[in-house]
Chain A
Amino acid sequence: EPEVTQTPSHQVTQMGQEVILRCVPISNHLYFYWYRQILGQKVEFLVSFYNNEISEKSEIFDDQFSVERPDGSNFTLKIRSTKLEDSAMYFCASSGVRGAYNEQFFGPGTRLTVL
C-alpha cells in the first residue's frame, strides 16, 4: 500500500539554527500539506501546496517557514531560525484531489526538538 514517508524521524537542533524536514508524498498525489502537533495538543495545519505554489497557509506559517518541491518526489519544510516553541511533531500529508472529501494521508512524522 502506498504511503507517505518522512525523514528524519527525529531532529535535534539548537535554537536559531535552520532545519529542513523532508517528505516523500504518495506518488500519484497532487496536493501536499504540512501539519504540526505540539506535545499534548491538537494537530494544527501549517500549509498546503499544489502545482508548485502555496495554496493556503495558517497564521503559524510565518516568514520563518518555507516549503519547496525540489524535484518530482520530495516535499520539504524549512524553518529558517528555530525557536524553542517550534519543538513539535511535524506531519506531512498528501491527497489526490482537492475540495470535499480530500482524504489526506499522513506520514509518520518528524519529531523536532529545539534546545
Chain B
Amino acid sequence: RKEVEQDPGPFNVPEGATVAFNCTYSNSASQSFFWYRQDCRKEPKLLMSVYSSGNEDGRFTAQLNRASQYISLLIRDSKLSDSATYLCVVNQAGTALIFGKGTTLSVSS
C-alpha cells in the first residue's frame, strides 16, 4: 500500500479557475502535513503546512481530515504561474518527509 497517494493529473484549467487536489496517507501515526510545489527539474518548495483546523494563505486553502487520513489543497483564481506539480507530504514519527508522487497543474490563458 502506497504511503501517500495523489491523483497524478494533469489538471488543465483556465486562468481564474478554482482547482482542488486531494491526497490520502496510509499511516495513521503521521504527525505533520505539508503541501510542496515543484517546478520542472527544480527543488520542492514549501507551499504551506496543513493544520488540523485547516488554514488559508491568500488563494490557497489546505484542509486535513485525520479520521479519513485525507488532505486537500484548494487553489482559487488560478494564475499562469501556478502551473507546477503539487506534492502532498507527510511526516510520521521521525525526521523523514514522505512524499506523494505529485499532481500536475497546468493553467492556461
User: Which residues of A are at the interface with B, using a C-beta cutoff of 8 A?
Assistant: 31, 33, 35, 41-45, 48, 50, 55-56, 58, 89, 91, 98-109
What's the Cα separation between A58 and B42 when bound, in Å? 23
User: Is B96's CB under 8 angstroms from A58's CB?
Assistant: yes
Say yes or no: is B44 at the interface (Cβ < 8 Å to chain A).
yes
Say how far B35's CB is from chain A's closest CB, in angstroms: 12
Query: Measured between alpha carbons, how far is A93 from B91 in the docked complex, in Å?
Result: 14
Chain B contacts of A106 at CB under 8 A?
43-45
CA distance A108 to B42 in the complex (A): 6
Note all chain B residues with C-beta closer than 8 A to A58: 96
Q: What's the Cα separation between A58 and B96 when bound, in Å? A: 9
Flag if A91 contacts B95 (CB, 8 Å).
Answer: no
- Given A42-B101, A43-B87, A98 and B95 touching (CB < 8 A)? yes
